[in-house]
């Protein structure tokens, strides 16, 4: 059904087309009626009677109605084409009004009412940059923040992670300048997703939790829902399903409270839980899927309906339940199959191919596969297209057409290699090795056997590195949970102690009323004295632990002295700020100390996470060591991991401070592994220190390094060569040490190695 809306006013007639084939016709007509009325006249109830509305108010109301309708079509009905058309019409009206505030609102609203792909990226980017420009001109920092947020979301959808990271850093700066904690939390979420896209998962995890902790502190339930949703998604992708389910449950509880009159939002949580279950390879209860599907159809929630059909379809295909898939689309919901033939022809064709093969009609199945191929090569993602070619090849094998199948598996391999998707490249190579051997082409069979071996090695190496990152994320989550549990236990202990004290005092009042005043006074006095003694003891113990390692401090308290100890092998790290002297000349003494404190405090957090012992700081130099006072075999891995994380922190600070015009530093880091002697120096103002040639060599490595890089010796390299990526520098002249083998550590993630 087609409906036209005409607006009669000073501007040219506006015509908006709607195509309706959904059950929401009545609601649409009501919206159209409201739009027509708001764009022409309104009634005033006092003496003036009816009069013409001013053009300014008419424009504003019409634009708002159009954007509201666009949101309804996008968020509820899932009709993205109509939503995009309505949004464009709202923007056209705003541009014709020559009102910058109207244009700004329309540009910003466009991003709430649309999803983005290659077909509309350029248009959306133009609208986003125009909104940013107007917000800056009008000096509206909150709208400027929204424009940056929209540009981040747009670039994330297109996997432009560097641009997303840049825009999100600007959003962080604006939120900080406004002192708006809610916007800061949302900015951290955007920054975390950008880091996640660049595969910096440990750092992304930290920013996700920073945003969540801020949202929890603000007690903002809407913001908390966003944070819990992103954490659940992040943990699901990293296969940490226990944490994913925990945060999804939290999101669901808050959604029931905040959106208690929006059952569709609540059921979307149920869909998310089923999706996580599907990712966990746990069989889904079809009854639950069926209930969710019937609910979405009854509520006319088209987007939820489409999501549920997609999940149901994926589940049945993965489980090879094609007979059940046939019943779903041909018996239970034939209208959905008919709808797909018009709205998603490629999916409809693939389904028909499955059905025809099950009916033992291979020629018809081949016809539908071929037609689907024509459509999918135009606009399907690499992931879906490679998967399609693989299934096409499997179909051809089942039909005994091995040579034709070879062509499809080659296509599957090529499409996957463009991204790359190593898993799909491997499965395609395995099939090609078998097929070429079967048809007697042993040259190509050997070629793909080499591909299989190399891809298997690559996937294994990626899995190891990925597992290290996931283990770090899991470990940090366990530490956070442990701290929360300890805090809850301490609160319970405090409550029980307070209850005990109250009961004791009540008993004293009952049985020893006359002496109660004296006893109470003595009790309070003793309690204050004990508390002061405890506080002094804690203070002295804390000061001692800030100076000495725990084991050495305990030995000093027990015996009055601490013996020097030899350690056969530790890893020593030195850091130094490269542009510190020049920058310090532009700062006051207080600013200089504050900057050093800020950076070194972050260094302390990083090395504490990896169990590394801080030795001392000398000016802007920082020294620490792994493998003492408690010996371990992972000291080289721990120290290098901490060094890489410190350099990541320095790079982030550089980006943020450049945006805000603040002073930033770069850092050189040197690491060497070898023997040292450790002990206490002096009898007053004593300090824990280490000595030996290893310390001098580590210092030389730092001096021979480069800003932003981690320079290690050959001795350290031998301990960690299987876990990181390196650039061999050759033998480099080190001061007082001669020629030393040196390496730059590049990454312990599966980033590509730099060339040269």
- Fold held by 566-747: Alpha-Beta Plaits (3.30.70)
- For 573-595, what is the mean pLDDT? 85
At 181, the pLDDT band (50, 70, 90 cuts) reads: very high
Q: How confident is the model at residue 173, as a pLDDT?
A: 93
- What is d(CA 450, CA 435) in angstroms, rounded to the nearest whole number? 15
Contacts of residue 69, Cβ cutoff 8 Å, sequence gap at least 6? 31, 35, 86
Assign 701 a pLDDT band (cuts: 50, 70, 90): very high
Q: Compute the mean pLDDT over every residue in the chain, rounded to the nearest whole number.
A: 81
The whole-number average pLDDT for the span 566-592 is 87
For the chain, the maximum distance between any two Cα atoms, rounded to a whole number of angstroms, is: 108
Q: Name the more confident of 678 and 382.
A: 678
Phi, psi of 48 (to 5 degrees): -65, -20
Beta carbons within 8 Å of 143's beta carbon, 6+ residues apart: 104, 108, 131, 134, 135
Whole-number percent of the chain with pLDDT over 70: 81
- The fraction of the chain above a pLDDT of 90, given in percent, is 35
pLDDT at 526: 75
Model confidence over 284-330: pLDDT tens digits? 888 999 999 999 999 888 888 998 999 998 888 888 888 899 999 99
Strand, coil or helix: what is 724? coil
- How many whole angstroms separate alpha carbon 685 and alpha carbon 41? 85
pLDDT digits (tens, 9 = 90+) for 538-554: 665 555 556 666 666 66
Tokens of 572: 């020593």
Q: Which distant-in-sequence residues (6+ apart) come within 8 Å of 259 by Cβ?
A: 265, 266
Residue spans per domain, the chain: 382-462, 503-547, 566-747
**Span 631-679, pLDDT tens digits:** 899 999 999 999 999 999 998 888 888 887 788 889 999 999 999 999 8
Of 578, 727, 571, which is closest to residue 641 (Cα–Cα)? 571
How much is the pLDDT for 553?
A: 61
Who contacts 254 (Cβ-Cβ below 8 Å, separation ≥6)? Answer: 221, 224, 225, 228
Contact 299, 293 (CB under 8 A): no
pLDDT of 537 above 50 = yes
Q: Do domains 382-462 and 566-747 have the same CATH topology?
A: no
Q: What is the pLDDT of residues 384-420, one digit of tens each?
A: 888 899 989 999 999 999 999 999 999 999 988 887 7
Q: What would the pLDDT profile of 17-68 be if each residue is shown by its tens digit?
A: 333 333 344 344 444 444 444 444 334 433 343 333 344 456 777 778 887 8
312-350 burial, b for 16+ CB within 10 Å, e for fewer? Answer: bbebbeeeeeeeebbebbeeebeebbebbeeeeebbbbb
Helices 100-112 & 141-157, crossing angle to 10 degrees? 40
Q: Which residue has the tokens 């290098």?
A: 640
Contact yes or no for 201/473 (Cβ under 8 A): yes
Cis peptide, bond prior to residue 629, ω within 30 of zero: yes
Angle (CA) 74 76 80, round 5°: 25
- 61: Cα within 13 Å, side-chain hemisphere: 18
Phi first, then psi, for residue 674 (nearest 5°) are 175, -170
The terminus-to-terminus CA distance of the chain in angstroms comes to: 63
pLDDT at 40: 44
Residue 741 Ramachandran class (φ > 0 left, ψ -120 to 50 alpha, else beta): beta
Residue 575: phi and psi, rounded to 5, are -125, 155
**How far is 376 from 543, CA to CA, in rounded Å?**
67
Ordered alpha helix ranges (H), 359-441? 362-379, 382-398, 402-417, 422-438
Candidates 393, 395, 392, 376; CA nearest to 384 is 376
443-460: per-residue pLDDT in tens? 988 999 888 888 877 766
Q: What is the pTM of this model?
A: 0.53
- On the question of pLDDT at 220 being above 80, the answer is yes
Whether pLDDT at 509 is above 90: no
Number of Cβ within 10 Å of residue 526's Cβ equals 10
Give the Cβ contact number of residue 26 at 10 Å: 8
DSSP string, 115-137: ---TTTHHHHHHHHHHHHHHHHH
The C-alpha atoms of residue 173 and residue 387 are separated, in whole angstroms, by 42
Q: How far apart are CA 49 and CA 38, in angstroms?
A: 17
Q: Which of 124-133, 234-243, 417-426, 458-467 has the lowest mean pLDDT?
A: 458-467
Backbone angles phi, psi at 523, to 5 degrees: -60, -45
Half-sphere exposure of 68 (CA within 13 A, CB side): 13
Decide if 733 contacts 671 (C-beta within 8 A): no
16 CB neighbour count, 10 Å cutoff: 18
Fold of 382-462: 1.25.40
């Amino acid at each position: 059904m087609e409906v036209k809306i005409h607006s009669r006013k000073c501007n040219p007639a506006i015509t908006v087309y709607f195509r309706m084939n959904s059950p929401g016709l009545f609601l649409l007509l009501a919206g159209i009626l409201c739009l027509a009325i708001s764009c022409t006249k309104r009634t005033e109830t006092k003496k003036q009677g009816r009069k013409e509305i001013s053009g300014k108010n008419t424009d504003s109301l019409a634009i708002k109605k159009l954007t509201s309708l666009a949101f309804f079509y996008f968020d509820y009905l899932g009709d993205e084409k109509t939503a995009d058309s309505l949004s464009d019409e709202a923007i056209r009206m705003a541009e014709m009004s020559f009102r910058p505030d109207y244009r700004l609102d329309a540009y910003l609203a466009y991003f709430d009412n649309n999803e983005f792909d290659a077909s509309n990226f350029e248009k959306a980017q133009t609208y986003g940059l125009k909104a940013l420009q107007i917000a800056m001109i009008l000096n509206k920092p909150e709208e400027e923040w929204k424009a940056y947020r929209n540009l981040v979301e747009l670039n994330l959808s297109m996997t432009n992670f560097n641009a997303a990271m840049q825009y999100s850093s600007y959003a962080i700066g604006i939120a900080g300048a406004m002192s708006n904690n809610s916007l800061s939390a949302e900015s951290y979420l955007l920054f975390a997703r950008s880091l996640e896209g660049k595969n910096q998962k440990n750092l992304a995890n930290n920013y996700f939790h920073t945003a969540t902790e801020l949202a929890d502190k603000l007690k903002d339930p809407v913001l908390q829902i966003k944070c819990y949703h992103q954490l659940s998604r992040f943990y699901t992708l990293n296969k940490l399903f226990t944490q994913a389910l925990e945060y999804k449950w939290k999101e669901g509880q808050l959604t029931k409270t905040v959106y208690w009159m929006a059952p569709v939002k609540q059921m979307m949580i149920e869909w998310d839980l089923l999706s996580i279950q599907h990712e966990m390879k746990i069989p889904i209860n079809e009854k639950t899927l069926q209930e969710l599907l019937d609910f979405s159809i009854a509520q006319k929630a088209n987007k939820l309906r489409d999501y549920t059909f997609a999940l149901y379809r994926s589940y049945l295909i993965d489980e090879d339940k094609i007979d059940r898939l046939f019943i779903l689309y041909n018996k239970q919901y034939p209208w959905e199959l008919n709808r797909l033939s018009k709205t998603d022809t490629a999916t409809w064709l693939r389904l028909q191919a499955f059905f025809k093969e099950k009916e033992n009609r291979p020629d018809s199945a081949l016809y539908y596969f071929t037609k689907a191929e024509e459509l999918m090569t135009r606009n399907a993602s690499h992931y879906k297209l490679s998967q399609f070619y693989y299934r096409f090849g499997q179909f051809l094998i089942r039909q005994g057409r091995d040579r034709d199948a070879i062509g499809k598996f080659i296509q599957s391999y090529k499409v996957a290699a463009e991204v790359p998707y190593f898993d799909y490249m491997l499965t395609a190579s395995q099939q090609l090795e078998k097929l070429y051997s079967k048809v007697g082409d042993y040259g190509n069979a050997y070629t793909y056997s080499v591909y299989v071996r190399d891809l298997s090695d690559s996937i294994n190496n990626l899995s190891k590195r990925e597992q290290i990152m996931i283990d770090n994320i899991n470990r940090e989550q366990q530490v956070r949970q442990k701290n929360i549990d300890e805090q809850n236990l301490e609160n319970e202990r405090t409550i029980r102690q307070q209850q005990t004290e109250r009961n004791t005092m009540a008993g004293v009042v009952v049985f020893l009323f006359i002496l109660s005043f004296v006893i109470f006074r003595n009790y309070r006095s003793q309690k204050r004295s004990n508390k002061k003694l405890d506080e002094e003891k804690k203070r002295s113990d804390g000061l001692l632990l800030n100076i000495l390692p725990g084991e050495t401090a305990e030995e000093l308290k027990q015996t009055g002295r601490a013996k020097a100890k030899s350690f056969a092998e530790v890893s020593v790290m030195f850091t130094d700020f490269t542009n510190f002297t020049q920058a310090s000349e532009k700062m006051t003494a207080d600013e200089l100390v504050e900057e050093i404190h800020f950076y070194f405090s972050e260094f302390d957090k990083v090395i504490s996470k990896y169990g590394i012992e801080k030795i001392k700081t000398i000016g802007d130099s920082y020294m620490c060591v792994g493998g003492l006072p408690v010996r371990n075999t992972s000291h080289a891995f721990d120290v290098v991991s901490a060094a890489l994380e410190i350099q990541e922190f320095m790079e982030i600070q550089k980006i943020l401070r450049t945006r805000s015009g603040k002073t930033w530093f770069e850092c050189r880091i040197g690491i060497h592994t070898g023997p040292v002697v450790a002990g206490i120096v002096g009898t007053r103002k004593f300090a824990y220190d280490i000595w030996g040639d290893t310390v001098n060599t580590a210092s030389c490595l730092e001096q021979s390094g480069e800003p932003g890089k981690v320079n290690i010796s050959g001795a350290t390299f031998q301990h960690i060569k299987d876990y990181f990526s390196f650039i061999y520098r050759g033998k480099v002249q080190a001061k007082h040490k001669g020629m030393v083998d040196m390496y730059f550590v590049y990454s312990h993630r599966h980033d590509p190695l730099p060339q040269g």
